[in-house]
Structure 1
Amino acid sequence: MERPVPKRSSSSQANVAKKSDPPAKAPAIDPEAERRVRKKIDLMIMPIICILYLFCFIDRANIGNARLAGLEKDLGMKGYDYNATLSVFYISYILCEIPSNVLCKLVGPGWFLPILTILFGSCSLANGFVKTVPQAMAVRFLLGIFEAGMFPGIAYYLSRWYRRSELTFRLACYVTASPLAGAFGALLASAILTMDSIGGSIHRWRMIFVIEGLVTIGLGIIGLVILTDSPATARWLTPDEKELAESRVRSERVGQSKVLDKIDKVKLIKGVTSPVTISLAAMFFFVNITVQGFSVFAPTIIGTLFSEKTTIQKQLLTAPPYLLGSIFTLVLPFLSWRMDTRQIFMILGAPTGIIGYIIFLATDKDDATVRYFATFLIASAVSSYGAFCSGQASANVVSDTARSSAIGFMVMVGNLGGLVSTWSFLPMDAPNYPIGNGLNLASQASILAIAVGMMFWMKRDNRRRDERHEEAEAEAKLREMSKSEIEDLDWQHPYFRWQI
């Protein structure tokens, strides 16, 4: 492909794929044909992906709804048993993050993601039959193993189909399942609890797990039929559309000759050691303290604020903040897509979360209306970070292999924050939870500091790269390298620039 001369004045220059030896003419991409192909991909891939992740998050967070419906009492939970049950999920979830994403690449995401869905749906179903706390912990541990690959796996999968500017909004379409799962899960749990039983023997909170687990298993089977690994294997694309779908993604990958490369150690390490990947992982750690904690403790917090309400009313009151969060999760990444930038939106979200937790710390449980308003601020502030962090990690590495390890590493470190979140709202801290709210305030401030620092560093390093690499010097360096060595450069390629 023909290598365009880099624009020295722009730090947000596109990562256009290049070969230094020999140069070849890149075919022009017809914008209208590309629009048609993108629309086709959207219609065939996005709906099932969004639904699978919606139930992934529901099956993870429905323990909060089950808690309101009597899970703790029926299982004889005491003290910190509930927090410990949440924690075992994150232990397996964190440990399996990177291995699962590498396995996703090896097996093929078109098979791997639906199979995971069937397996974690089975775990949700099994949750409806546990009799003791150890049994509940064992099922949650298995749930963590099977859910570990979904978030990074879907992000990696979509990076095979979409350009950098398009990807964050598509990520948001499935990440919105996180706040939407809170709302939909609350409504679904409320509807389920209006039933007396299933089969005469499954009552109350057990019905939540059984019904949601069965639905998830069915969706996984549908996913096996619909999903395909990549454009090259898509039965619903014509040969010309397959070539166009691959060439438009390949055009943004500096030094890469193909969209799907073979796994090698150098590229895996490059994905993990990118400065932007490491910074995003640290940010995602603090993001998950709030996001994951909010997902499983929101029903408890809102139940404390409205203690006079019935169980079903409390379930319904958890839905509106999540619905607002879903709107922001889509609107902000949509603007990011049109502007082809992500970092500024990551900076703008944190102050709203900071205000929300300041309100919680400055009030007490008797100020129910004010605190309930604060939950709306928090949900709107943090819900879109999953899309932005994943999109930014994908945009700032080059090869398919590096992308799989970068996203997997970022999510693994991030979910350490999820583990922390399980101990952020403790029984001794009720009803005002100053420790949990203080921890989340500090997390939001850390997100703001990291996001601002990343933006200034990327701009400065792009200027350094512009000044350091003259055209002739870069060409000479590349001519001395083999094709595989050039591909292994990844973000160290002389024509690569950080995407802000």
Structure 2
Amino acid sequence: MDENKDIAVEQHESAPVDSQTASAKEVEGATTTVFDPEKETKLRRKIDRFIVPPVALLYLFCFIDRANIGNARLANLEVDLGLRNQDFNIILSMFYITYSLCEIPSILLCKYIGPGYFLPLATFGFGIVTIGTAFCKNKGQMIACRILLGVFESGMLPGVAYYLSRWYRHAELSFRLGMYMLMTPLSGAFGGLLASGILSLDRVGSLTQWRMIFAVEGIITSGVAFILLFLLTDSPLTARWLTSEEKELAISRVMSERVGQEEVLDKMNLAKIKNGFSNPIALVTAFIFFCGNVVVLGISFFLPTIIRTIYPGVTTVRQQLLTVPPYLVGAFFLLLVSWLATRYNTRQVFIFFSAPTVMAGYAILLSSMNANVRYAAIFLTASAAFFGGSLCNAQCSANTVSDTARSVAIGTNTLFGYLGGLVATWTYLPWDGPMYPIGNGLNLAVSGAIGVASIGGLIWMRVDNKRRDARTPAEKEELLMGMSRVEIGNLDWKHPDFRWKP
């Protein structure tokens, strides 16, 4: 592999590695570094320019290639493939089965070979699969393509979230995750516009109608991935565009928040992997992300279908265009709330406040027959549904310590999240329209569950932090007595100096 993308393991200057016993006081002292605000701001802006736009672009096409089947449905996909009854829902489900199963292996592979290689190669893979989808002739071939798409896309969301956590401090991460998760609603808007433009063509080569959508979007995805394969770098240590001083500052900033850690990019071991899986807040957050994705992916896959039932008399191109404004509203609020979460360095409260807004939208969809009112309700749900993606991943990152545990916690979060996607594929069934009481009712229920879980998690964090604060220095010293530095590094969120970050 290119030297620029090798995963480097560097020791923090204030904590040399040895097997001697470390005290709580020593470890606590390693986390009190103060940095020059002006240099930090300059470095942060430089990282923003070089890191966020490429990963956002990759994720944009990731989500377009996943959700474009909803646009293709309006362009006679079901008729051409001879799909009947719940065949479309079955095809959607196949993606999420492999997506969920490959989630943890993919994120561990991402850590092992490095995000700089993994993310572009995975994107190139699902771009090729998307092109292949354009040539499907029957239900079986479409299922095979969706299964492969799930394999290649499984590491994208956790991979990008994990990648950004290598560059940013906890308080900064929500907004940066928001900037790349912005691609979720924008992909719906851009995907709708792109599908409308593609469908206005007579043909692309020998391909017509819905086949053109998959072919053109797959070609674009593959091209972008190939270019970024040569541009992304794994971490600050291997970034050619950072000076030596900037690299040192970038590493020190990240290390300052990692209680008991001595390496920026640690080697995987079983203890740290278990800590990532068993982190209580990561598990609560994963449940919240599960519920949130039932809503978000239900919108992504079925918004064109819902629009068709609201405005059945307009043209297919106009139906595609009507899917765009709700996504733009969702994108605005995603970015705003992610910025506020970074501004106030809190995520749990904003997750909670998303619940009543989404609930109100689905309550209207269940109760009103008026077309314009129903369309307005979609804006209400979209305004609060999307920002859970950035906040949930930022919450997992903020409440883990080691690089390994962080990657596993984020992977667990997205594993549960996209099990929610599997549920979402069965929320809007053909015989349930046009009011869709099952789909809208389920989304109303899971939105309520988000509110309950988020406030419950917030209360638990505050109670446990008070319990940790009540320990005396002597008690903390006793807890760490006899442990080697390696053992202390394996404690992660169990370390007595660790505090939950709401």
Say whether the 8 Å CA contact 2:95–2:149 is kept in structure 1.
Answer: yes
Give the aligned partner of residue 150 of structure 1.
156
Q: Following superposition of structure 1 onto structure 2, how do residues 70-109 of structure 1 map, counting pairs within 5 Å?
A: 70-109=76-115
Give the aligned partner of residue 471 of structure 1.
473
Give the aligned partner of residue 20 of structure 2.
none
Shift of 1:95: 0.1
Give the aligned partner of residue 117 of structure 2.
111
Letter of the 1:471 partner, please give it.
P
Mapped pair 1:332 → 2:337: yes
Matched position secondary structure for 1:236: coil
Shift of 1:477: 2.9
Shift of 1:144: 0.3
Shift of 1:257: 1.2
Alpha-carbon distance in 2 for matches of 1:435, 1:22: 52
Identity rate, percent? 54
Q: 1:63 aligns with which of 55, 58, 69?
A: 69
Letter of the 2:309 partner, please give it.
T
Query: 1:355/1:27 Cα in 2 relative to 1: closer, same or farther (>3 Å)?
Result: closer
Q: In angstroms, what is the RMSD of aligned CA positions?
A: 1.6
Give the aligned partner of residue 489 of structure 1.
491
Alpha-carbon distance in 2 for matches of 1:22, 1:288: 38
Q: Deviation per CA, 1:141-197: give whole Å up to 9, x if none.
A: 000000000000000000000000000110011111111110000000001111000
Alpha-carbon distance in 2 for matches of 1:459, 1:164: 18
Letter of the 1:475 partner, please give it.
E
Q: Deviation per CA, 1:57-106: give whole Å up to 9, x if none.
A: 00000000000011000111011110000000000000000110000000
Matched position secondary structure for 1:190: helix
Alpha-carbon distance in 1 for matches of 2:454, 2:32: 36
Give the aligned partner of residue 260 of structure 1.
265
Give the aligned partner of residue 13 of structure 1.
none
Alpha-carbon distance in 2 for matches of 1:143, 1:19: 49
Q: Following superposition of structure 1 onto structure 2, how do residues 246-395 of structure 1 map, counting pairs within 5 Å?
A: 246-364=251-369, 367-395=370-398
Q: 1:161 aligns with which of 159, 162, 167?
A: 167
Shift of 1:478: 2.5
Query: 1:25/1:122 Cα in 2 relative to 1: closer, same or farther (>3 Å)?
Result: closer
Q: 1:458 aligns with which of 456, 461, 479?
A: 461
Letter of the 1:402 partner, please give it.
A
Alpha-carbon distance in 2 for matches of 1:116, 1:197: 29
Mapped pair 1:436 → 2:442: no
Matched position secondary structure for 2:230: helix
Q: Following superposition of structure 1 onto structure 2, how do residues 1-20 of structure 1 map, counting pairs within 5 Å?
A: 20=26
Letter of the 2:411 partner, please give it.
G
Query: 1:194/1:231 Cα in 2 relative to 1: closer, same or farther (>3 Å)?
Result: same
Matched position secondary structure for 1:225: coil
Give TM-score scaled by structure 2 length. 0.94
Matched position secondary structure for 1:196: coil
Query: 1:279/1:26 Cα in 2 relative to 1: closer, same or farther (>3 Å)?
Result: closer
Say whether the 8 Å CA contact 2:293–2:418 is kept in structure 1.
Answer: yes
Matched position secondary structure for 1:259: coil
Shift of 1:222: 1.5
Alpha-carbon distance in 1 for matches of 2:307, 2:59: 25
Alpha-carbon distance in 1 for matches of 2:458, 2:494: 18
Shift of 1:475: 2.2
Give the aligned partner of residue 412 of structure 1.
415
Letter of the 2:490 partner, please give it.
D
Alpha-carbon distance in 2 for matches of 1:86, 1:22: 49
Give the aligned partner of residue 29 of structure 1.
35
Alpha-carbon distance in 2 for matches of 1:137, 1:402: 34
Q: Deviation per CA, 1:313-372: give whole Å up to 9, x if none.
A: 0000000000000001100010111111111101111110000000011123xx110000
Alpha-carbon distance in 2 for matches of 1:405, 1:479: 28
Q: Deviation per CA, 1:219-250: give whole Å up to 9, x if none.
A: 10111111100000001111111111010011
Matched position secondary structure for 1:227: coil
Letter of the 1:307 partner, please give it.
P
Shift of 1:31: 1.1
Say whether the 8 Å CA contact 2:31–2:258 is kept in structure 1.
Answer: no
Query: 1:219/1:361 Cα in 2 relative to 1: closer, same or farther (>3 Å)?
Result: same
Say whether the 8 Å CA contact 2:24–2:476 is kept in structure 1.
Answer: no
Q: Deviation per CA, 1:183-217: give whole Å up to 9, x if none.
A: 00000000111100012x11011110000000000
Q: Deviation per CA, 1:256-285: give whole Å up to 9, x if none.
A: 112110000100110110110110111111
Give the aligned partner of residue 5 of structure 2.
none
Shift of 1:47: 0.6
Give the aligned partner of residue 188 of structure 1.
194
Structure 1, gaps ≥5 residues long: 4-16
Q: 1:138 aligns with which of 144, 147, 164?
A: 144
Matched position secondary structure for 1:226: coil
Alpha-carbon distance in 1 for matches of 2:250, 2:45: 11
Q: 1:211 aligns with which of 216, 219, 234?
A: 216
Alpha-carbon distance in 1 for matches of 2:33, 2:421: 46
Say whether the 8 Å CA contact 2:28–2:497 is kept in structure 1.
Answer: no
Alpha-carbon distance in 2 for matches of 1:66, 1:24: 55
Mapped pair 1:52 → 2:54: no
Alpha-carbon distance in 2 for matches of 1:156, 1:216: 22
Alpha-carbon distance in 1 for matches of 2:455, 2:479: 33
Query: 1:476/1:140 Cα in 2 relative to 1: closer, same or farther (>3 Å)?
Result: same
Alpha-carbon distance in 2 for matches of 1:242, 1:314: 50
Alpha-carbon distance in 2 for matches of 1:270, 1:41: 29
Shift of 1:472: 1.9
Say whether the 8 Å CA contact 1:193–1:205 is kept in structure 2.
Answer: yes
Query: 1:315/1:196 Cα in 2 relative to 1: closer, same or farther (>3 Å)?
Result: same
Alpha-carbon distance in 1 for matches of 2:27, 2:321: 62
Letter of the 2:486 partner, please give it.
S
Matched position secondary structure for 2:258: coil
Query: 1:155/1:21 Cα in 2 relative to 1: closer, same or farther (>3 Å)?
Result: closer
Alpha-carbon distance in 1 for matches of 2:64, 2:204: 20
Shift of 1:466: 1.0
